[in-house]
Amino acid sequence: MSYILRRVLRAILLSFAVSALCFLFTEMAPGSFFDEMRLNPQISPETIFALRSSYGLDQPLAVRYARWVKAALHADLGYSIAYNMPVRPLLWSRAKNTLLLTVSALALTWLISVPLGVWAANRRGGWVDKAVALGSSFVISVPELVIAVALLALVVRWRILPVGGMMSADSDAFSTLAKVQDLARHLALPVLILVLCEIAIIVRHVRASVLEVLGATYVQAARGLGVSQGRLLFRHVLPVAANPAISLLGFSLAGLLSGSLIVEVICGWPGLGPLLLEATLSRDLYLVIGGIMFSALFMIGGNLVADIMLIAVDPRIRKEGADAR
Amino acid sequence: MGGNLPNMPTYSPTYSSGGGSSESLLRVTGLCKRYTRGSLWRKRVAVAAVVSADFGISRGQTLALVGESGSGKSTVARCVARIERPDAGQILMQGADIAQLAAAALLPFRCRIQMVFQDAVTSMNPRFSALEVIEEPMRIRRETVHDRRDRARALMIEVGLSPDWMHRSISNFSGGQRQRIALARALTMRPQLLVLDEALTGLDVSTQAQIANLLIDLQAAHRLTYLLISHDLALVARLADLIGVMAEGRIVEAGPAQQIVSDPEHPATKKLLASAKAAAGKLTRITGASL
Amino acid sequence: MVGPRDLLRIRDLAVMYSAEEGVPIRAVDGVSLEICAEEIVGILGESGCGKSTLAGALLQLLAPRAKCEGEILFRGRDLLNLSAAELRSVRGRDIALIPQDPALSLNPVMTAGSLIGEVLRAHLPLGAERRRERVMGLLREVGFDRPEEIYSAYTHQLSGGQRQRIAIAQAVACRPALLVADEPTSKLDATLQSEVVALLSQIRQQHGTTILIISHDPALFAGFADRIAVMYAGRIVEVGKSVEILGRPLHPYTQALMRIATSSVATGARANMRLPAIAGESPNPGCILEGCRFEPRCPERMQVCSQRYPQAFLPEPTRPVNCFKYGG
């Protein structure tokens, strides 16, 4: 399976490239964490210098990068200056929440959009198809931020869902089941916003690729041999149509992740978003790099999964360049 | 130039037909083209499409290269038309070697050598009108609108299309008509050599006959030279002066059409002839036509 | 009444494609044809004459904008009036189609075995194990000596000839009474063409399958088809025994076509000899003539030819020909 090997190698190379760029850009960004301290007359330049060297910030960029990579390979992502604690536990406590949000939004998006896209394509020109076309053009044309704020306003006005945080204040007293329910209610709004922003594009892509495959000669041929419509759709059409859709999976993951960072800030979800925003504003160097690297690894991993899923679905890729005909 | 190659005892490249005209137009020697397969992570493997091909065509003649799919005949055609750059060998067009010429130096030869493909549709923009397709090469050469229009009109008549149809889009023409348009477009450059890559394949029996006749008429009118690529020996035998049989990247047998068809020597030729005759045999038994 | 041996009876079939503007295009017009059980009938015609539309109409596989009129009686049932469920059970089980281009008609992400198995699954209640056995048997039947290797192969791993065999195995999987083969050899080399024809003959012999085969090449029918119907511009112009049509054609169109076919067969002919082509093009189906559709290209046209369409005359008792040469 040299295909998988190549994809994995590519993913690793990509991770290094991202980390290098990340270092370079944070270096190029103006200001540093200690700039505010400099304005404070009570802290002497010597103290600042000592602090800088204690965090290793007086070293040249290449050395810092090499050190960081070496440490990161041992799962040590450095030290947060602002929180005065290692980056990894800090990041992980927030990343869990972002993962929960992103993965549930991703699952929901695909669970809704694939059947909907297939249905719309199968009944082309029917009411489902028209509704999907209308709804998706509406969602695509409205800026995501507007959707998020509008939904937030509706939810606050009607008091249907709790807003802010991921648990109710008194949740410690709940039973396990009640805790899960409470979490789900808090999760509902940010997930809804994310799904709504992402789903329109994916439904359209699924519909288009299913339609294309439905018109293929081999589907007509299978129909001419008496294969039923349901079997035709799910056994003959969907595996072929899945190819472009799966490629889209990685893309949608990127969209959801970057979307969730914003939605978290809007909805007060204690994920990476608010943390990263804060860290960026205060120039908390290693926290920013750690956060970005986490997001990047998540996306690279997601794309890797999509690539591997492609082989499972499409035998033509398994053969890619394997032999000369 | 010329001379027998040691590895090909059956073929003499200095052969000239009894047609009378012996002014050499094209001479190909030692043509070789490999394709490599592989990628960044994979070992590269060279696949030889054409191992070695030698042949010559005189002005006004038709040379047909026949062979099964994968025998390398289309690659030879693509190299002669210089759509591909051969790895080795000479392609002498009236004495000038065009095998390795770069784009700019090749330009004057591009006009003299034109190619017509099997599926004319894929080489044309389906949204273009017949006129736009035909005058496209002239537009690239910056001829005036008036000249272009006149020439396109004359060529449409010559290939058997009504000039009234010049504004119809390509998608409204039948397969045979598109092949006529492709021929008209090739003729705008006043070529000396037409490379016809399976240009008659996939057409109906009656359309094929029409286009074959058109090719014969055009050849006589413009003193054209044809390099005809086909897998159909029966069809080729009617059009070609010379036939070269290709198998596994080599010309394994070559000679006058009559000789190849009546007295084949190489097994590949015999196989092609046998399948042509098998299809024909049943029909001739019924109709009484003679082979 | 439908005769006991008539498997398929097409009566006055017309297929119209609604055009975006103006009158609908009649791709098939007034076609009547009877096919007996175990017969091989060839439909001979050029591209655009409506022969593929006819094949599509038999299985109702035409585009939604196509409209059929007339009757297609299969064992006495009109195929044009079947419900969706009835149609599905007819397709593949009673009538199966062998497509023109196997490269396009086989699903690229399914193995040969599952492609054939899908047809069995659609019609027969077999367990997975029994189905696999049947597929192996079918693969052997269409000429694969080692079916295990082919079973798990994908279409891109197969040659053109192998793909066409898979398509044939699909079509014969449920032992249909009628096989419709739409130009089954036009995308194959000459050697493979004769192999496919031999395979189809063998299937007829072993299972008594009726075959309707469509081609533009008269040579394909020689020694294979029992009867031939010649189509020109959407209509059948002549029907007769294969030997009669090919050896002694009566309609001027068939005569011209056979002159070309026999001359291009003559492999030893001198170079640069013009072929006996038919001048002109077949009419655009959008503007159909009042009279005989071959009239503009016919060397023997008469005044009456452009005035009305010739009905079928019987110059010989068994040979209907739609040409005023033979009466009127």
DSSP string, B208-259: HHHHHHHHHHHHHHHT-EEEEEES-HHHHHHH-SEEEEEETTEEEEEEEHHH
Confidence grade of residue C129 (pLDDT, cut at 50, 70, 90) = very high
Is the pLDDT confidence value at B2 over 70? Answer: no
* Residue B190, C-beta contacts closer than 8 angstroms, at least 6 positions apart: B111, B222
At C264 the pLDDT is: 63
Domains of chain C, start order: 6-94+176-326 (3.40.50.300), 102-175 (no CATH)
All partners of chain A with 3 or more CB pairs under 8 angstroms: B, C
- The nearest alpha carbon in chain B to A321 belongs to B38
DSSP-assigned letter for residue B156: H
Q: How far apart are CA A188 and CA A77, in angstroms?
A: 32
Smallest Cβ distance to C271: which of B231, B238, B287?
A: B238
Instruction: Dump the DSSP string for A5-46.
Output: HHHHHHHHHHHHHHHHHHHHHHHHSS--TTHHHHH-TTS-HH
At B62 the pLDDT is: 93
DSSP-assigned letter for residue B59: T
A-facing residues of C in 111-130 (CB < 8 A) are 111, 118-119, 121-123
- Tokens at residue C186, please? 């036009």
Contact A207/A137 with Cβ under 8 angstroms? no
Task: Work out the average pLDDT over A58-68.
Answer: 82
Is the pLDDT confidence value at C23 over 90? Answer: no
At B16 the pLDDT is: 43
Higher per-residue confidence, B21 vs B287: B287
Higher per-residue confidence, C62 vs A31: C62
Domains of chain A, start order: 2-86 (no CATH), 94-324 (1.10.3720.10)
At C213 the pLDDT is: 95
Inter-residue long-range contacts of C204-209, CB under 8 Å, 24+ positions, other chains counted: C204/C38, C204/C40, C207/C172, C207/C175, C208/C37, C208/C38, C209/C38, C209/C172, C209/C175, C209/C176, C209/C177, C209/C178, C209/C179
Contact B237 C189 (CB under 8 A): no
Chain B CB within 8 Å of residue C201 CB: no
Which positions in chain A touch C170 (Cβ < 8 Å)? 221, 225
Q: How far apart are CA A54 and CA A37, in angstroms?
A: 16
The number of C-alpha atoms within 13 Å of C110 and in the hemisphere containing its C-beta is 28
- pLDDT by residue (tens digit) across C38-83? 999 999 998 888 888 999 999 888 888 888 999 999 998 999 999 9
Q: What share of chain B is helix, strand, coil (3-state, %, to 5)?
A: 40, 25, 35
CB count within 10 Å of CB C317 equals 6
At A175 the pLDDT is: 83
Among C220, C245, C267, C298, the residue to mutate for chain B (most B Cβ within 10 A): C267
Contact A321 B45 (CB under 8 A): no
Confidence grade of residue B8 (pLDDT, cut at 50, 70, 90) = very low
Is the pLDDT confidence value at B283 over 70? Answer: yes
Which positions in chain A touch C157 (Cβ < 8 Å)? 319
- Quote the minimal CA–CA distance from A311 to chain C in Å: 11
Spell out the SS3 assignment of A91-119.
HHHHHHHHHHHHHHHHHHHHHHHHHHHHH
Confidence grade of residue A286 (pLDDT, cut at 50, 70, 90) = confident
Give me chain B's average pLDDT, please. Answer: 82
Q: How far is CA A94 from CA A266, B259, C39, in A?
A: 16, 85, 76
Is the pLDDT confidence value at C175 over 60? Answer: yes
CB count within 10 Å of CB A240 equals 23
Which positions in chain A touch C109 (Cβ < 8 Å)? 239-240, 313-316
Contact A217 C107 (CB under 8 A): no
Confidence grade of residue B15 (pLDDT, cut at 50, 70, 90) = very low
Smallest Cβ distance to C107: which of A228, A236, A313?
A: A236
Nearest to B187 by CA among B222, B162, B220: B222
At B196 the pLDDT is: 93
Contact A6 B47 (CB under 8 A): no
- The nearest alpha carbon in chain B to C49 belongs to B204
Task: Work out the average pLDDT over A154-163.
Answer: 83
Contact C278/C257 with Cβ under 8 angstroms? yes
Task: Work out the average pLDDT over B259-279.
Answer: 85
Q: What is the pTM of this model?
A: 0.80
Smallest Cβ distance to A315: which of C61, C154, C174?
A: C154
Contact A148/A262 with Cβ under 8 angstroms? yes
Give me chain C's average pLDDT, please. Answer: 88
Chain B CB within 8 Å of residue C16 CB: no
- The nearest alpha carbon in chain A to B35 belongs to A324
Chain B CB within 8 Å of residue A2 CB: yes
Confidence grade of residue B4 (pLDDT, cut at 50, 70, 90) = very low
Q: How far is CA B234 from CA A186, B275, C267, in A?
A: 78, 10, 5
Q: How far apart are CA A55 and CA A32, in angstroms?
A: 12
Residue with tokens 């020689």: C222
At B19 the pLDDT is: 44
Among B118, B242, B286, the residue to mutate for chain C (most C Cβ within 10 A): B286
At C5 the pLDDT is: 67
Nearest to B97 by CA among B83, B80, B73, B114: B80
Q: How far apart are CA C166 and CA A149, in angstroms?
A: 58
At C71 the pLDDT is: 93
Residue with tokens 């750059």: B85
Helices marked H in chain B — which ranges?
A: 73-80, 103-112, 130-140, 145-158, 175-187, 205-222, 233-239, 257-262, 267-287
Q: How far apart are CA B151 and CA B40, in angstroms?
A: 50
Contact C270 B286 (CB under 8 A): no
Most confident of A11-15, A312-316, C20-24, C183-187: A11-15
Is the pLDDT confidence value at B6 over 70? Answer: no
Contact A272/A98 with Cβ under 8 angstroms? yes
Contact A264/A186 with Cβ under 8 angstroms? no
B-facing residues of A in 283-322 (CB < 8 A) are 321
Instruction: Dump the DSSP string for A266-311.
Output: HHT--SHHHHHHHHHHTT-HHHHHHHHHHHHHHHHHHHHHHHHHHH
Contact A313/A246 with Cβ under 8 angstroms? yes
Is the pLDDT confidence value at B44 over 70? Answer: no
Which positions in chain A touch B37 (Cβ < 8 Å)? 321, 324
At C205 the pLDDT is: 93
- Quote the minimal CA–CA distance from B38 to chain A in Å: 6
- The nearest alpha carbon in chain C to A237 belongs to C107
Cα C70 → chain centroid: 19
Which positions in chain C touch A124 (Cβ < 8 Å)? none
Smallest Cβ distance to B39: which of A5, A9, A321?
A: A321
At B43 the pLDDT is: 53
At A210 the pLDDT is: 93
B-facing residues of A in 175-234 (CB < 8 A) are none
Residue with tokens 């850009």: A25
DSSP-assigned letter for residue C280: S
CA angle A233, A239, A245 (to 5 degrees): 105
Phi then psi dihedrals of residue B213, to 5 deg: -65, -40
- Quote the minimal CA–CA distance from C161 to chain B in Å: 12
Confidence grade of residue B9 (pLDDT, cut at 50, 70, 90) = very low
DSSP β-bridge partners for residue C126:
none
Least confident window among A130-134, A284-288, B156-160: A284-288
Which positions in chain B touch A2 (Cβ < 8 Å)? 41-42
Contact C119 A231 (CB under 8 A): no
Task: Work out the average pLDDT over A226-244.
Answer: 89
Contact C79/C58 with Cβ under 8 angstroms? yes
Nearest to C308 by CA among C327, C324, C285: C324
- pLDDT by residue (tens digit) across B45-75? 666 788 889 999 999 999 999 988 778 888 8
- pLDDT by residue (tens digit) across B79-114? 999 988 899 999 998 888 988 888 888 888 888 999
Give me chain A's average pLDDT, please. Answer: 84
Q: How far apart are CA A51 and CA A61, in angstroms?
A: 17
Q: How far apart are CA A108 and CA A192, in angstroms?
A: 9
Contact B41 A321 (CB under 8 A): no
At B39 the pLDDT is: 46
At C11 the pLDDT is: 93
- pLDDT by residue (tens digit) across A175-210? 888 888 888 888 889 999 999 888 888 899 999 999
- pLDDT by residue (tens digit) across C234-275? 999 999 999 999 999 999 999 999 888 887 655 454 555 777
Which positions in chain C touch B257 (Cβ < 8 Å)? 271
- pLDDT by residue (tens digit) across A236-262? 999 888 888 888 887 788 888 888 888
Chain B CB within 8 Å of residue A4 CB: no
- pLDDT by residue (tens digit) across A86-112? 888 888 888 889 999 999 999 999 999
Q: How far apart are CA C188 and CA B6, in angstroms?
A: 35
Cα B261 → chain centroid: 20
